[in-house]
Amino acid sequence: MRRRTLLTAALASGLGLAAATPVAAAHRRITGGYVLPAPSGPARLGTVALHLRDTSRTDPWVPSRPVREIMVQVWYPARTVRGHLPEPWLSPGAVPHFAEAFGLPAGRIRDTRTHGRTGAPVERRPGGHPVLLYSPGLGGDRGTGTVLVEDLVSHGYIVVTIDHTHDASEVEFPDGRVEVAAVPPDLTDEILLQAADVRAADTRFVLDQLAALDAGRNPDAGRRRLPDGLRGAFDLDRIGMFGHSLGGSTAAAVMNQDPRLKAGADLDGTLLGPAAVAGSTRPFLLFGSDHGPDAEDPTWNAFWAAQRGWKRQLRLRDSVHGSFTDGVAFYPQAAAEIGLTPQQLAEMVGALAPQRSIVIQRSYLRAFFDQHLRCRGGRLLAAPDPRYPEIEFVR
């Protein structure tokens, strides 16, 4: 990773560089949604959105709100998907603001569907499924890591994705409210450190709610019906976390603060705040984009020196910051209609072929969590593998 200020690191998030990249108006109308690559595992996917209210906090970005409200999406292996509709990639009310912010046609986003089926019953497993949390980059919605999330679920994980309200570009709540970003536009280091602290508090709160769900309680603010089989579905002794950009920093910070997390991964995120660089005694993966061998992120060096548990740093050659989001799937499909040049597209998602980038990311992220939450294998992370010459073992 190249040396970057906290400000620069946090700005390059969301769906990567897309929000800051000018694109031409669409030259032709293309109908239908974008296509997410199919998950590689055997499990069918179910999903449900939850509206959570933390009554112990006021909203840190809008102090007039007496309660901190967030949305999360629970993704899980499904027993059957018959009779359950595919979940939209983004809730309909959030689409107009998202489309304007990230330069993608609203109609195409509105029509994009995931492989998860809304409200499908949960596949039962003795002892429950291992659990992962996902936190997006600053300005990113909970769905911006769906390419990676779906694949992990297809291999037997429950994954809970978090919308950090008023940090996320937009969040739609069940009553139709759409809350947009309220982080001050002058992103000083102090503001970014505050954002890091808010995200860590959100994550610890979500961990609390997982215990409630597993016990059969319904923490949804509207008490909307939960999928059958959610009670007892979570293996709370095997919880990990990963995130992109500021979300990766959040994973590192909460790993330091909360022993409930047993393994964590940072996807190309500069580490913000003392907790994020302090390390832990539990496994952590640093998975970076290609900024060249002479451009190390000093916060990663600080973390490496402090980390007492298992650690590994990988670099994905010919990738960029935005390679680790769903932008790697969407922008190549959208390039012609929004007027992206090949150079602009490479700046957004990297020079590595998008499908290959996705396959590699999925393989190494799953191998990490399989090794440290399931005690499976470990060879892929032990040394370079000739099947994946694009992966550099930095240390």
Comparing CA positions, the residue from 51, 19, 344 lying closest to residue 221 is 51
Which tokens is 276 given? 């994020």
Residue pair 14/183 in contact by the 8 Å Cβ criterion: no
Residues in the chain with pLDDT values less than 70? 1-31, 292-295
Query: Could you report the per-residue pLDDT of 13-59, keeping only the tens digit for each?
Result: 566 544 444 444 443 455 689 999 999 999 999 999 999 999 999 99
Comparing CA positions, the residue from 139, 189, 157, 161 lying closest to residue 41 is 157
Across the chain, mean pLDDT equals 92
Cα Rg, the chain, nearest whole Å: 19
User: Can you give the pLDDT at residue 369?
Assistant: 98
CB atoms within 10 A of CB 38: 10
Report the alpha-carbon distance of residue 240 to residue 152 in Å, rounded. 12
User: Can you give the pLDDT at residue 31?
Assistant: 61
Residue pair 159/153 in contact by the 8 Å Cβ criterion: yes
H or E element, residue 315: strand 311-316
- Could you give the domains of the chain? 6-393 (3.40.50.1820)
Report the alpha-carbon distance of residue 212 to residue 245 in Å, rounded. 29
CB neighbour list of residue 386: distance below 8 Å, 6 or more residues apart: none
Report the alpha-carbon distance of residue 36 to residue 192 in Å, rounded. 31
Determine the Cα angle at 44 with ends 42 and 45, to 5°.
Answer: 130
Cα distances from 363 to residues 151, 180, 358, 368, in angstroms, run 9, 34, 8, 9
User: Can you give the pLDDT at residue 30?
Assistant: 59
Determine the Cα angle at 154 with ends 276 and 289, to 5°.
Answer: 40
Residue pair 220/244 in contact by the 8 Å Cβ criterion: no
> Is the alpha carbon torsion for 314, 316, 317, 322 positive or negative?
negative
CB atoms within 10 A of CB 293: 9
CB neighbour list of residue 23: distance below 8 Å, 6 or more residues apart: 103, 338, 339, 340, 344
| One-letter amino acid of 349 | V
CB neighbour list of residue 219: distance below 8 Å, 6 or more residues apart: 50, 52, 209, 212, 213
Determine the Cα angle at 229 with ends 365 and 222, to 5°.
Answer: 95
**Single pTM value for the model:** 0.93
User: Can you give the pLDDT at residue 302?
Assistant: 97
User: Can you give the pLDDT at residue 1?
Assistant: 35
What do you get for the CA distance between the two ends of the chain, in Å?
Answer: 13
User: Can you give the pLDDT at residue 29?
Assistant: 54
Rounded to 5 degrees, φ, ψ at 339 are 80, 30
Q: Which residues pair with 285 in a beta bridge?
A: 265, 312
User: Can you give the pLDDT at residue 291?
Assistant: 80
User: Can you give the pLDDT at residue 329?
Assistant: 97
User: Can you give the pLDDT at residue 22?
Assistant: 43
Determine the Cα angle at 194 with ends 189 and 195, to 5°.
Answer: 95
CB neighbour list of residue 61: distance below 8 Å, 6 or more residues apart: 165, 166, 167, 182, 183, 198
